[in-house]
């Protein structure tokens, strides 16, 4: 090594490069927020959002079961997190809800400086689906004020992340999840995956199983995008309705108050982070009769599905750029 290339000089150059990359990321975030995000505004969905957003507290109460189901996953402390969500939305859901730390830290991928995360996932989606379908999957929605990172595809790192899960499944299974008659998603974040699959197949019967605090948020988001007539609270006497987005509180399902069946089962990290008793119920139900299964999970922390993979007919693959995480599909 020449005298110029000392270890101190190399470290300094690396730090300078990191600072430049960070500044570029911040600049891209600001540009996306000021110039790209406003292009996604849509008057009718905004009108519906501001009508239903104040009802968050009432919706949460409606979704709550009378008794909580015992059990826990020791690796995840959900009780305090649930309370934080309730407190954050006590006065309603703000239109920029994705920037709130209680959500941004747990269910928004690449919220800050997300372009580097988005680019490789956009390429995967394009490679598998082609540009026409990629454009439909990647196009963001204004509600939530997502961090739009790409002016060509008008997408965020988070939406590209979810679309890349669908790309992996279609590439692996040679079929699309949105072609299933009924999809059940265990743990749906704020409703983004439901949005993508229903955009591809508007008549799809969709079932979401989640905590009441999140069901209420998903209801607000999806009601704004699709209208109240597209939604159904499945704990009501009519049960699960075909062609609708059906909401089932986790407690109601585990207690046997609602017994769903589906053609496709999706869970990205949520089911393996659920209480052990809940994981056992999904395994025992064989994914509620689903033929198609897409799981994404961390390979530790109380994950029961990895050890049952062969029995369940799951094929595991590492998730690119996410060490320790894997897909499991069939």
Of 262, 288, 278, 161, the closest CA to residue 211 belongs to 278
Q: What is the pTM of this model?
A: 0.90
Of 107, 178, 191, the closest CA to residue 141 belongs to 191
What is the spatial distance between Cα 323 and Cα 7, in angstroms, rounded to a whole number? Answer: 29
Question: How far lies 88's CA from each of 13, 83, 94, 152, 161, in Å?
Answer: 42, 9, 10, 34, 25
Q: What is the pLDDT along the chain (330 residues), one digit of tens a residue?
A: 555 666 555 555 555 555 545 555 566 677 777 889 999 999 999 999 999 999 999 999 999 864 455 565 655 567 788 999 999 999 999 999 999 999 998 899 988 768 889 999 999 999 999 999 999 999 999 999 999 999 999 999 999 999 999 999 999 999 999 999 999 999 999 999 999 999 999 999 999 999 999 999 999 999 999 999 999 999 877 899 999 999 999 989 988 889 999 999 999 999 999 999 999 999 999 999 999 999 999 998 889 999 999 999 999 999 999 999 999 999
Which tokens belong to 288?
């509620």
pLDDT of residue 26: 61
What is the spatial distance between Cα 45 and Cα 58, in angstroms, rounded to a whole number? Answer: 21
Beta strands in the chain (DSSP E): 148-150, 155-156, 182-186, 205-210, 231-233, 245-249, 264-268, 292-298, 315-318, 325-329
Q: How many CB atoms lie within 10 A of CB 208?
A: 27
- Which DSSP string do the residues of 155-186 spell out, in sequence order? EEHHHHHHHHHHHHHHHHHSS-GGGSSEEEEE
pLDDT of residue 112: 77
* End-to-end CA separation in angstroms for the chain: 52
**Looking up tokens 């994981």, which residue turns up?**
279
- In degrees, to the nearest 5, what angle opens at C-alpha 78 toward C-alphas 76 and 79? 135
Q: Could you report the per-residue pLDDT of 299-308, keeping only the tens digit for each?
A: 988 899 999 9
- Classify 116 in phi/psi space as left (phi over 0), alpha (psi -120 to 50) or beta: alpha
What is the spatial distance between Cα 100 and Cα 182, in angstroms, rounded to a whole number? Answer: 32
Q: How many CB atoms lie within 10 A of CB 252?
A: 20
Burial of 157: CB neighbours in 10 Å, binned 0-12, 13-18, 19+: buried
Beta strands in 33-192 (DSSP E): 148-150, 155-156, 182-186
Class of domain 43-329: alpha beta
What is the spatial distance between Cα 128 and Cα 44, in angstroms, rounded to a whole number? Answer: 32
What is the spatial distance between Cα 48 and Cα 230, in angstroms, rounded to a whole number? Answer: 13
What average pLDDT does the structure give for the chain? 90
Is 2 in a helix, a strand, or coil? coil
Which sequence spans correspond to the domains of the chain?
A: 43-329
Which tokens belong to 229?
């007539």
pLDDT of residue 322: 95
Q: Could you report the per-residue pLDDT of 174-228, keeping only the tens digit for each?
A: 999 999 999 999 999 999 999 999 999 999 999 999 999 999 999 999 999 999 9
pLDDT of residue 66: 46
pLDDT of residue 68: 55
């Amino acid at each position: 090594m020449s005298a110029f290339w000392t270890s101190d000089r190399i470290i300094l150059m690396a730090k300078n490069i990191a600072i430049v990359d960070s500044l570029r990321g911040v600049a891209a975030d600001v540009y996306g927020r000021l110039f790209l995000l406003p292009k996604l505004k849509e008057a009718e969905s905004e009108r519906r959002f501001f009508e239903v957003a104040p009802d968050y507290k009432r919706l949460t109460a409606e979704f709550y079961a009378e008794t909580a189901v015992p059990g826990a996953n020791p690796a995840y402390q959900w009780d305090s997190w649930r309370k934080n969500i309730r407190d954050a939305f006590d006065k309603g859901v703000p239109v920029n809800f994705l920037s709130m730390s209680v959500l941004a830290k747990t269910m928004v991928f690449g919220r800050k400086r997300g372009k580097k995360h988005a680019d490789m996932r956009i390429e995967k989606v394009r490679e598998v689906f082609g540009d026409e379908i990629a454009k439909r999957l990647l196009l963001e929605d204004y509600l939530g004020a997502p961090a739009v990172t790409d002016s060509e595809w008008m997408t965020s790192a988070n939406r590209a992340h979810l679309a890349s899960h669908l790309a992996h499944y279609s590439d692996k299974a040679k079929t699309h999840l949105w072609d299933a008659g009924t999809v059940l998603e265990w743990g749906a974040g704020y409703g983004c995956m439901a949005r993508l699959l229903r955009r591809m197949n508007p008549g799809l019967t969709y079932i979401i199983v989640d905590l009441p605090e999140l069901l209420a948020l998903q209801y607000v988001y999806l009601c704004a995008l699709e209208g109240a007539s597209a939604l159904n609270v499945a704990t009501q006497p009519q049960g699960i309705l075909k062609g609708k987005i059906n909401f089932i509180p986790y407690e109601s399902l585990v207690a046997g108050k609602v017994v769903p069946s589906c053609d496709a089962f999706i869970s990205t990290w949520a089911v393996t982070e659920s209480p052990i008793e809940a994981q056992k119920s999904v395994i025992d139900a064989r994914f509620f009769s689903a033929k198609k299964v897409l799981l994404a999970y961390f390979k530790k922390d109380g994950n029961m599905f990895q050890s049952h993979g062969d029995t369940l007919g799951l094929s595991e693959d590492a998730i690119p750029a996410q060490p320790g995480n894997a897909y499991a599909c069939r």
